[in-house]
A and B are shown apart, each in its own frame.
Chain A
């Protein structure tokens, strides 16, 4: 079996599969559950300065094959209340990455410093939620914004900072470069794709927020393209996210350049048992393809520059 341990953004991971932010993660016991099921690390819900209930329901729409559309609206208990949940997961030995979202570079820096004090291993900056007014994509949608926010945070904290960037752009690589210039230790890509569902009987959008973000199998090819383009531009590691449900999905991301991976929607479909399964299957697949270590497969698809012979 191939070795799945990786080092990414200065954090040693027992395997590359991280619980994506926003899935479970409101409670420390849930984070612990994902860790105990074999996740390489767990990323918290995105935490803001004050408690936030999120949007009214409906907040999700489901699709049989594609995945999920959601506009939860960044519900979270706030940075003053949340550390007790992190403490639960840390006491269980989990590698916890703290996700934060702010409305300005200053707010990000403030949140980062409070999150760092909880003892998390790294921070992930949510620069990419597609459905929250004044947050996410709205403050992290351009390279200049990304660089300013990441710089403000990296000045404030010594922890590794992962910038989660949006696919709702024509230049994901440009955003990643900006994060690198700002001092990020890694970038994660992608967040959900802005999307919409309409109920034709009621002649109205399904989600209370109208627009939401699409996740799951439908977005894997989009995520792969972003990771591919980012890998070609930046030197810092890339965390691949978007529609990972099988070991092959995972390995596609790794070969496109990802050193670590986030799993979200598949946790919804399968439960946290997905973590153990993906690790077993990826390890076997790597070995079958001649890799003894996951690290050796990172970005290999970029070396295939010439067309194979007829």
Chain B
């Protein structure tokens, strides 16, 4: 069952990323996602970037045609929402390192928000192609998180991949957990960096998704379905999944290499 809501606010977060806010009363936790229906067009899984209170939000980066059409939604436009679906981040660790690549911050920011509210110390390694694309940098800072930036072109923070920042932080500071979302190659490097220090890593995963109910198999990830077994996976669950960082499936179910 879907609930049709009107978009209340549209925020251009970065040149390529848009947040849509809407009123949706259902309880939700950081890590969970909703299915967002664009009437007459498509329905997409989107992690909630705002989970607290009745005003929820999703944040989407322009990738293909559908994500661009989502971005073109304006305040007052109707969208259908079902969910929230999926599991959530375990927010109990006290010293958390967040590693975000690209639009990964969309799902990590509400986790940071909830964890900060209960007193956790949050360090964010935030990566983007260039400075204007750093998603939720100010939101993280306003929460009281320490933010270490990496950009591919060096326009802000250190030049290069965010994994180098994460590796340095893990090598020099103690953390109780790492939460990460971004390209799978990036997350694999984060897992490798955390392993020698036995810091547990939790990855928010993405796959093409259709039913979001555990029926259609579109989001199969090894023995898991991202929609019901995820989207948040502890790294040890992904260890023996050959798909991870290797291939995903297109809408027909064909394997597509990364």
Contacts and interface: CB of A to CB of B under 8 A. Distances in A.
A57 B42 contact: yes
Interface residues of B, number: 35
A70 B215 contact: yes
Contacts, number: 121
B12 interface: no
A77 interface: yes
Given A27-B217, A57-B210, A202 B252 contact: no
A204 B39 contact: yes
Interface string A258-277: 00000011011001000000
A156 interface: no
Contact of B254 (A72, A77, A206, A208): A77
A58 B218 contact: no
Nearest to A25: B217
A169 B134 CA distance: 58
Contacts of B41: 56
Contact of A78 (B44, B211, B252): B252
A26 B255 CA distance: 10
Interface string B218-229: 101011010010
A24 B217 contact: yes
A51 B43 CA distance: 21
- Chain A interface residue count: which class? 35 or more
Contacts of B212: 60
Nearest to A52: B252
A29 B223 contact: yes
B171 to A, nearest CB: 35
A53 B252 contact: yes
B175 interface: no
A63 B2 CA distance: 10
A29 B220 contact: yes
Interface in B156-211: 210-211
Contact of A199 (B2, B210, B222, B228): B2
Contacts of B62: none
A62 B4 CA distance: 15
Given A27-B253, A202-B39, A267 B215 contact: yes
B220 A77 contact: no
Contacts of A82: 253
B215 A27 contact: no
Contacts of B42: 56-57, 208
A187 B218 CA distance: 28
B210 A72 contact: yes
A206 B2 contact: yes
B251 A54 contact: yes
B250 interface: yes
A244 B49 CA distance: 38
Contacts of B223: 29-30, 32-33
A78 B254 CA distance: 8
A264 B211 CA distance: 14
* Most chain A CB within a 10 A radius of its CB, from B4, B250, B252, B254: B252
A204 B253 contact: no
B78 to A, nearest CB: 6
A90 B2 CA distance: 39
B154 interface: no
A202 B251 contact: no
* Most chain B CB within a 10 A radius of its CB, from A58, A61, A206: A58
Nearest to B208: A53
A160 to B, nearest CB: 25
B41 to A, nearest CB: 7
B249 interface: yes
B215 A26 contact: no
Contacts of A63: 1
Nearest to B218: A26
B11 interface: no
Contacts of B217: 23-27, 30, 45
Interface in A1-50: 22-27, 29-30, 32-33, 45
Contact of A268 (B39, B210, B214): B214
A2 to B, nearest CB: 30
A62 B213 contact: yes
Interface of A: 22-27, 29-30, 32-33, 45, 51-54, 56-64, 68, 70, 72, 75-78, 81-82, 199, 201-202, 204, 206, 208, 264-265, 267-268, 271
Interface of B: 1-2, 4, 35, 37, 39-44, 78, 80, 82, 210-218, 220, 222-223, 225, 228, 249-255
